[in-house]
Amino acid sequence: MRATSKLLTLAGRVYRLLLYVYPTPFRREYGFDMAQVFRADTHDTLQECGMAGLIGLCFLTFTDLLKTAFAEHIWEVFHMPMEKLQRLSGPAAAIGGSVWVSSIIWIFGFEPRVNWEILVSILVVVFLLSGLLMGMGLGGLYRRLPTGSHPAKRLTFGLSLLGLVLYNAASIALFLTMTSRLDEFSLIAIFGSFFAYFLGIAGMGIIAMSGRVLGRWSFTPLAVSALGLLFIIVVPKTGEAGQGSLAQSLPVLALLALYGISWLLLGVGLWSTHEEPLVRERPA
Amino acid sequence: MTEPDLESLLPLSPSVFHILLALADEERHGYGIMQEIRLRTDGQVRLVPGTLYGAIKRLLAQQLIEEVDARPDPAIDDERRRYYRLTDFGQRVLRAEAARLASLVRQAEAKQLLSGWSQSLATGGE
Q: CA of B118, closest CA in chain A: separation in Å?
A: 28
User: Which candidate in A24, A68, A75, A78 is best for mutational testing of the B interface (most B CBs within 10 A)?
Assistant: A68
Reported residue count of chain B is 126
pTM over 0.80: no
**Residue A77 counted as domain residue:** no
Pair (A223, A100) in one structural domain: yes
Pair (A61, A92) in one structural domain: no
Calpha distance B81→B27 (Å, rounded):
12
Q: What is the pLDDT along chain B (126 residues), one digit of tens a residue?
A: 566 778 888 899 999 999 999 999 999 999 999 999 999 999 899 999 999 999 999 999 999 999 998 766 666 667 778 999 999 999 999 999 999 999 999 999 898 888 776 666 656 554
* Interface residues from chain A to B (CB-CB < 8 Å): 26, 29-30, 32-38, 40-41, 57, 60-61, 64-65, 67-69, 71-72
* DSSP tag of A280: P
**Residue A277 counted as domain residue:** no
Nearest CB to A33 within list B48, B51, B53: B53
Give the CA diameter of chain A.
Answer: 80
Contact A64 B56 (CB under 8 A): no
Q: CA of B30, closest CA in chain A: separation in Å?
A: 7
Pair (A157, A254) in one structural domain: yes
Query: Do A212 and A251 touch, CB atoms closer than 8 A?
Result: no
Chain A CB within 8 Å of residue B37 CB: no
Dihedral over alpha carbons A218, A221, A226, A232 (to 10 degrees): 170
Contacts of A39 (CB under 8 A, 6+ apart): A8, A12
pLDDT of residue B78: 73
pLDDT of residue A149: 47
Contact A40 B31 (CB under 8 A): yes
**Residue A114 counted as domain residue:** yes
Domain span including residue A264: 85-272
Pair (A133, A54) in one structural domain: no
Domain final residue, candidates A68, A103, A124? A68
pLDDT of residue A123: 78
Give the CA distances from residue A161 to residues A1, A188, A196, B25, B80, in Å, rounded to whole numbers and listed in that order.
60, 18, 9, 47, 46
Calculate what percentage of chain A has a pLDDT beyond 70: 86
- pLDDT tens sequence across A146-196: 765 467 888 888 889 888 888 778 777 766 665 555 567 777 777 888 888
Helix (H, G, I), strand (E, B) or coil at A97: helix
User: Which candidate in A33, A43, A47, A74 is best for mutational testing of the B interface (most B CBs within 10 A)?
Assistant: A33
Calpha distance B63→B37 (Å, rounded):
21
Pair (A22, A52) in one structural domain: yes
pLDDT of residue A284: 41
Query: Do A261 and A97 touch, CB atoms closer than 8 A?
Result: yes
Contact B81 A33 (CB under 8 A): yes
Calpha distance B50→B62 (Å, rounded):
18
Pair (A10, A110) in one structural domain: no
Contact A41 B51 (CB under 8 A): no
Provide the domain count of chain A: 2
Pair (A28, A108) in one structural domain: no
Calpha distance A282→B74 (Å, rounded):
61
Burial class from Cβ neighbours inside 10 Å (0-12, 13-18, 19+) for residue A4 reads middle
Pair (A192, A230) in one structural domain: yes
Query: Do A104 and A256 touch, CB atoms closer than 8 A?
Result: yes
Helix (H, G, I), strand (E, B) or coil at B83: strand
pLDDT of residue A283: 45
**Residue A284 counted as domain residue:** no
* For B61, nearest residue in chain A (alpha carbons): A79
Region for residue B43 given its phi and psi (left: phi exceeds 0; alpha: psi -120 to 50; beta: otherwise): left
Pair (A103, A221) in one structural domain: yes
Which residue did the predictor score with more confidence, A14 or A76?
A: A14
Domain final residue, candidates A18, A42, A68? A68
Nearest CB to A68 within list B34, B50, B82: B50
**Residue A281 counted as domain residue:** no
**Residue A282 counted as domain residue:** no
Pair (A30, A91) in one structural domain: no
**Residue A73 counted as domain residue:** no
- pLDDT tens sequence across A252-268: 788 888 888 999 999 99
- The complex scores an ipTM of 0.86
Pair (A43, A144) in one structural domain: no
Using CA of residue B75, residue B81, residue B86, residue B88, what is the dihedral sign?
A: positive
Q: b vs e for B64-75, b when ≥16 Cβ sit within 10 Å of the residue's Cβ?
A: bbbeeeeeeeee
Calpha distance A151→B40 (Å, rounded):
56
Angle between helices A116-144 and A250-272 (to 10 degrees): 40
Give the CA distances from residue A134 to residues A249, B4, B103, in Å, rounded to whole numbers and listed in that order.
26, 33, 47
**Residue A62 counted as domain residue:** yes
Query: Do A211 and A279 touch, CB atoms closer than 8 A?
Result: yes
Pair (A139, A43) in one structural domain: no
Q: Give the other-Cβ count within 10 Å of A60's Cβ.
A: 16
